[in-house]
Amino acid sequence: MPGIFLGEVAALSAALAWAVAAVWFERVGRQVRPMELNLLKGSGALLLMLATLLLTGDWFAHLPPLALVLLLLSGALGIGLGDSAYFEALRRLGVRRALLLGTLAPPMTALLGLLLGETLSFSAWAGVLLTSGGVAWVITERTPGYTAVQQSDVRRGVLFGVAAALAQAGGAILSRLVFLQTTVSPLQSAILRLAAGVALLFVLLLVQRQALLSWRKLPQARQLLGWLALAVLVGTFLAIWLQQISFKLAPTAIAQTLLATSPIFGLSIAWRMGEKLSPRAILGVLVAVGGVMLLFLGPQ
């Protein structure tokens, strides 16, 4: 394969990995509470990344205190709170809709970037509106046969999905500030962010006095553990690795756009799992992803 396409293939592979892992996370999330699931996911990914750090010899660079604080805050916000909200949305909305709400993170990041003095072109503003409109069009579609209780559950899921996108956008902005000011590597920053997210979740679970690992007594506990291990390996460790490869080998705008195609993969996965897809749902996903493409690929 020509090396010129390696970054693009890595980005698409990462998008596919996130979509596939969402299925496993959704299955585990039926039995494991979102914050506990996030703690287990973060702890497993942190161990894998620390092992990678030891194998590659990519030792930590010196970080100014402010940069270290910003990275830790980024992890607490984007991973500790954002991923927990995402798992709650995944449990309430399913894979397809939760992935679609994730497309709100790039426009939110672009809007928050205005606080850093960044400007948006006309096409970027159009991309923000298209993505938001596509998501809203799909989410507001009434599903036949849903009871009032189920519709209420969907609304709560949407709120969690929007909160997850906003938290992840805020975490991305804080990380960007650190990358602009220091030479910290992506692997090092990922480890610090994961450590902060795991620490916050552990404290929150202690404060709430939630019993951990109670699901081990379930008959399907071994199956749940297998799904969780696969989701962490594919959706966290491998996806982040592929993401960093895409950022290194492909233009950032193209990489970001291809990474945002997870909802398209989510459509095909939902269809294969027997979910009926309306023309409105399919078109809404395409509009939302098209908005992300316009946001990143349009003139800056």
Encode the chain (300 residues) as per-residue pLDDT tens digits: 445 578 888 889 999 999 999 999 999 999 999 999 999 999 999 999 899 888 887 677 778 899 999 999 999 999 999 999 999 999 999 888 999 998 888 888 888 878 777 777 888 888 888 998 989 888 887 766 555 546 778 889 999 999 999 998 898 888 878 887 888 887 888 889 999 999 999 999 999 887 788 888 888 989 999 999 999 999 988 888 888 788 777 776 677 788 888 999 988 888 888 888 888 889 999 999 988 888 777 665
The pTM assigned to this predicted structure is 0.86
**Quick one: how far is CA 31 from the chain centroid?**
21
Q: Which of 163, 143, 185, 179 is nearest to 281 (CA)?
A: 143
Q: How many domains, the chain?
A: 1
> d(Cα 212, Cα 81) in Å, to the nearest integer?
18
> d(Cα 124, Cα 109) in Å, to the nearest integer?
12
203: domain range?
A: 3-297
For 48-68, what is each residue's pLDDT tens digit? Answer: 989 988 888 767 777 889 999
